[in-house]
Amino acid sequence: MLHEVSVSEAPGRLESFNPRDGSKLGEVPIADAAMVNAVFDRARRAQVGWAAMGVDRRNEILNRLRGVLLDRADEIGRVVSSENGKPPVEPIGLIAPVCETIKLHTALAKRLERGQKVSATFFIGSRARIFYEPLGVAGYILPWNFPFELGMKHMIPALAAGNAVVQKPSPVNPLIGDMMVNLFRDAGVPDGVVQMVHGYAETGSALIDAADSICFVGSTATGKKVMRRAAETLTPVVLELGGNDAAIVREDADLDLTARGLVNGTCYNAGQVCNGIERIYVPHQLVEPLVEKILSVVGELRQGWQTSGGDYDLGPIIWEPQLEIYEAHTADAIEKGATLVCGGAARRDGGGLYWPPTILTGMTHEMRMMREETFGPFLAIMGVGSDDEAIRLANDSQYGLAGSVWTRDVKAGEAIARRMRAGSVMVNNALQSGGCVTLPFGGDGDSGVGRAQGEQAYYHYVATKSVMTSPDSAEALWMPYAATTEDFFKGVSQVFNGRGIAERASGLVSLIRNRPRGAGR
């Protein structure tokens, strides 16, 4: 929500529509740079009180949010489904990871409350401790595919650390953004600590300029622009970007399990998932039997246009410009020799735009679908002759976000996972590691910078302060140096790094014999 800024001053209105039927849901004011700055000013004032509240009180409020989420599950499912198109079961299912994120980061904040004790190494008698202090106001620019889960989950570590947060949701999902503010408010988070601003590129740029840290989730191209803009103010960024995630099917795979898993990994959220499966490598002799089983599973899926209620599996294309990519990648694959087994064309029905599950075989790395992010419900299958070939092809990518291995031999699957260049790899599953909030989530290469999940996420929102307390005896090593100081330092090095007992004992003798006393006096 925008506060302390007259809505009449907004440069325009952002309208929200239901992607299933095109009906208008509401509208919000667009924030220009001045309005964004006013929101950040309010956030900075609120952050002072939020940080001063202390860990126990903040944790009490954040943990109260878990109860609010449970009580409001039906409302969350309804609002997210209406503005995002997905079946209500999916956002309701994502409440659990949000709650686990709260538990993880409130516990971490408590553990770090009095600092982290570390070894003082060879500084005998000294105390060394690391403290983690909030940066101020964290800024978020988040996408349209998971506006609720990512919108909630990514703000939690910053709030637990004592920061205020300002988020710009996707222009497609402004009402979900405002709902999130209300959820935090109802849990008892003070006004101004969690705020939303709405708009397009200008709003996002102003947010980057004003924030003390940035979390961006979206396309690689936009992520690079965010990083360049943040470099002007040396603002730290974490970027969760695109992927072209590979699935490797081994000869011993359970084909029934694998078929269902591949369909789920490509078609969940109608394929609009950054760590969704985008290319599948299958032993040549298994391609045909696996495709038959995949066709059977696909046939069970219910499309959103087939019902007016929430009883469906695949919703519409949330962001209509994706259609151009779907059509271009499909045409390119067919032109270069791929076989279209099913799907491959959009359907407009009831005011919504849908793309059915699409199976393509005979894929090669000359095809755009195997090199670029398609971000849709595509099962693009390429035959391979060995595990080694599959691993080589999986790693032949500018991306490095996620992957999966399908096999009855779990040990072999985990060994292959270690050889895949990806931030997250699952064995006999896909996607769900993104919901295991204790695991870091993110990728390398064009898939991003940093990690937006797990304990690592917390450290993005804090300033690290080292505090070391020395004993009075440290003065003996200050300038001007005593004649014996050089031999004393040699003894210290030998005691702590000697290559055996004899060398360490020799160092101890030198340390005792040459210890400076009363230097400078």
Q: In sequence order, which ranges of 268-365 are alpha helices (DSSP H)?
A: 287-298, 322-335
Distance CA 166, CA 155 (A): 9
User: Who's near 335: CB < 8 A, 6+ residues apart?
Assistant: none
User: Who's near 380: CB < 8 A, 6+ residues apart?
Assistant: 278, 279, 280, 333, 338, 360, 363, 367, 369, 370, 374
For the CA atoms of 324, 330, 333, 339, the dihedral, rounded to the nearest 10 degrees, stands at -170
pLDDT band at 387 (very low <50, low <70, confident <90, very high): very high
Whether the link from the prior residue into 480 is cis, omega within 30° of 0, is yes
438 forms bridges with which residues in the sheet? none
Res 8: pLDDT: 54
This prediction's pTM: 0.95
Half-sphere exposure of 283 (CA within 13 A, CB side): 15
In the predicted model, is pLDDT for residue 361 greater than 70?
Answer: yes
pLDDT tens for each residue of 141-174: 999 999 999 999 999 999 999 999 999 999 999 9
Our answer to whether residue 274 is catalytic in this structure is yes
Distance CA 462, CA 399 (A): 28
Res 287: pLDDT: 98
Location of structure tokens 């709405």:
198
In the predicted model, is pLDDT for residue 11 greater than 90?
Answer: no
pLDDT (mean) for 372-394 = 98
In the predicted model, is pLDDT for residue 521 greater than 60?
Answer: no
Q: Which helix (H) or strand (E) holds 248?
A: strand 245-249
pLDDT tens for each residue of 78-132: 999 999 999 999 999 999 999 999 999 999 999 999 999 999 999 999 999 999 9
Q: How many residues in the chain? A: 521
Strand-by-strand arrangement of the 213-217 sheet: 194-196, 164-168, 137-141, 213-217, 237-240, 448-449
pLDDT (mean) for 233-244 = 98
User: Among 115, 211, 216, 103, which residue's Cα sits nearest to residue 160?
Assistant: 103
In the predicted model, is pLDDT for residue 211 greater than 70?
Answer: yes
Q: Which fold has domain 27-241+455-465?
A: Aldehyde Dehydrogenase; Chain A, domain 1 (3.40.605)
Whether 245-433 and 27-241+455-465 are alike in CATH topology: the answer is: no
Res 201: pLDDT: 96
Our answer to whether residue 278 is catalytic in this structure is no
Res 65: pLDDT: 98
Task: Select from 3.40.309.10, 3.30.450.20, 3.40.640.10, 3.20.20.220 the CATH code of 245-433.
Answer: 3.40.309.10
User: Among 97, 54, 91, which residue's Cα sits nearest to residue 74?
Assistant: 91
Distance CA 354, CA 120 (A): 61
Res 6: pLDDT: 47
Res 518: pLDDT: 55
Q: Which of 274, 372, 373, 455 is catalytic?
A: 274
Give SS3 for 468. strand
pLDDT tens for each residue of 27-55: 999 999 999 999 999 999 999 999 999 99
Contact 262, 308 (CB under 8 A): no
In the predicted model, is pLDDT for residue 9 greater than 70?
Answer: no
- Percent of the chain scored above 90 by pLDDT? 93
Distance CA 281, CA 261 (A): 14
pLDDT (mean) for 52-63 = 98
User: Who's near 489: CB < 8 A, 6+ residues apart?
Assistant: none
Domain chopping of the chain, boundaries: 27-241+455-465, 245-433, 473-514
Q: Which of 149, 240, 278, 373 is catalytic?
A: 240
pLDDT tens for each residue of 283-310: 999 999 999 999 999 999 999 988 888 8
